Amino acid sequence: MSDPVLLLGDRFQAALVLAFGPEHAGVDPAIRPSNHADFQANLALGLAKTLKKSPRDVAAAILAKLDGTGVVERTELAGPGFINIWLRAEFLSAEVARVAAAGTAGVEAHPTPERIVIDYSSPNVAKEMHVGHLRSSVIGDALARVLEALGHTVLRQNHLGDWGTPFGMLIEHLLDEGADADAHSIRDLNAFYQAARAKFDASPEFAARARVRVVSLQSGDEATLGFWRKLVEASRTHFNALYRLLGVTLKDEDIAGESLFNPMLGEVVSELESMGQCVENEGAKCVFVPGYVGRDDKPLPLIARKQDGGYGYAATDLAAIRYRLQTLNATRILYVVGAPQTQHLAMIRDAAIQAGWLALPARAEHVAFGSVLGEDGKVLRTRAGATVRLIELLEEGVERARSIVAEKAPELPIEQRDAIARAVGIGAIKYADLSSDRVKDYVFDWSRMLAFDGNTAPYLQYAHARICSILRKSNESVELASIAISEPQERVLALSLLAFPRALADVAESLSPHRLCGYLYDLATAFSAFYEHCPVLKAATPEVRRSRLLLSATTATVIARGLELLGIEAPEKM
């Protein structure tokens, strides 16, 4: 076990039981990294209340029983009952050496792996992906990578909006134009969508045809399905190109669009009806879940089947959650969807609980996120006021990075500079998104995200490339070197390296990738301080040099692995 917090936690548990009896097994020793020591345990205050003793006495009694063999150098009772802990340098050395040798950056597989469905990206067919879908794709992909690294089985589900009433008007418009969807780029399809919409609103004759077409689509008319497939295909090509450019791991086989659930909708509704959970309401079939009311204070329904017999977004989500639980056997379902859908998703979850489909230990969680704002503090738009096209945004990022790289590394060949520019430009955009608390809105700011200092992708990428350059210059293989921790900066760096698995566990728990960003930033900062105070290539002895080189190499490994789990590349030269 390389995580000192877990190890100390076990030792404190044992001490607690020895000092006060088995009824206290399970009390959280609350061991946190500290500015005053390596760690601080903060369990005495809470226990003191239960035990009706002074916190300092409680802390002293625990310390008297603490077995620190092999791990703890010394402890100190501080303040009203805090316990400061310093670890043995030999312990730190051995654990870092283990991380260095393991090739997994110290991350071990979870003892009870789960099957985790992540619903993310989920753009709409025949419409271009926009900045809102950027957040879902980037956050969802980071969570997928982190949860997989922890040993869970991740089932990516791209819940494409590929079904429903809009397809009636889109197909009719396609036929009117005599247009061939293959010849249309998705950009045309965007304009195409607007034209179809305008006709639908203006012409009752067209609207009527569109409605008939929806019925043909839903009843599986082969010719209609053929036109529909063309629209889906054209969109998918566009989405895939964006995923590749963005470094998002979604593949065609992860598509589980709304159309997949179409054949299940009737059955889902009758199952809900037979359980008495779906009732007739103004001609529609509705599921009511307690606790949700509309603006008029009336109970808010989930519409399982519309008045006209059709099915909508809610019905599809009911079928999807049932499918994920009963067919995919998910034990955890994550919806990476914008904050405006909070109530809808909460109702789907509660309806699934009410139907008995969703029961502990399985759970469904909404990974909500806020909007991307322009520098004016309003939702990001182009100067002309249109929604920003994702592809243009990414291209601009790469373009801006290209000029920075040309300035910083003019000696590199042009192809290499291009590859670095892509890594930096796309990385900067993704990192800016991932490093802000996802539930909040954030301001899209080119100069901040592309800065080489502060909590940014370029800063971390540069730190990594700099270490790679030190290692190249050393011209020495240090895999088998032993690590000696003597300077305080070496100690801080070692502690930071050992905290990587904890940072990932924290992301898995909180579903907040910004915690991993914060960790990597702290690690890179610890490395800077180390590099400033502890000569590496010019160390006093060959042993110290080799030890410091191995500390450096391990830092590079952890930064690169951390960035990879965020979906960001780490070039070796910059």
Give min distance, CB of 129 to ligand ARG, in A.
9
d(CA 477, CA 497): 20
d(CA 328, CA 321): 10
The contact set with ligand ARG (CB under 6 A) reads 119, 122-124, 159, 161, 317, 320, 335, 337
In this complex, which beta carbon is closest to ligand ARG, that of residue 343 or of residue 482?
343
Sheet strands (E) in 79-224: 82-87, 115-119, 153-157
- Tokens, residue 182: 């293959």
In b/e form, how buried is each residue of 441-475, taking b as 16+ CB within 10 angstroms? ebebeeeebbbeeebbbbbbbbbbbbbbebbeebe
CA angle 56, 60, 65 (to 5 degrees): 155
d(CA 75, CA 81): 12
Give min distance, CB of 330 to ligand ARG, in A.
13
| Residues 260 and 165: beta-carbon distance below 8 Å | no
Determine the angle formed by the axes of helices 542-565 and 500-510, rounding to 10 degrees. Answer: 10
In this complex, which beta carbon is closest to ligand ARG, that of residue 366 or of residue 546?
366
- Tokens, residue 445: 């700011």
Give min distance, CB of 206 to ligand ARG, in A.
25
Give min distance, CB of 320 to ligand ARG, in A.
6
Give min distance, CB of 193 to ligand ARG, in A.
13
Give min distance, CB of 272 to ligand ARG, in A.
18
In this complex, which beta carbon is closest to ligand ARG, that of residue 118 or of residue 284?
118
DSSP reduced 3-state for 75? strand
In this complex, which beta carbon is closest to ligand ARG, that of residue 118 or of residue 398?
118
The CA–CA distances, whole Å, from 4 to 126, 200, 502, 555 equal: 52, 64, 10, 18
In this complex, which beta carbon is closest to ligand ARG, that of residue 234 or of residue 556?
234
In this complex, which beta carbon is closest to ligand ARG, that of residue 317 or of residue 490?
317
Give min distance, CB of 508 to ligand ARG, in A.
21
The CA–CA distances, whole Å, from 497 to 96, 98, 253 equal: 7, 11, 36
In this complex, which beta carbon is closest to ligand ARG, that of residue 71 or of residue 272?
272
CA dihedral (129, 130, 135, 136) in degrees, to 10, reads -30
| Residues 552 and 523: beta-carbon distance below 8 Å | no
In this complex, which beta carbon is closest to ligand ARG, that of residue 210 or of residue 319?
319
In this complex, which beta carbon is closest to ligand ARG, that of residue 157 or of residue 547?
157
DSSP reduced 3-state for 161? strand
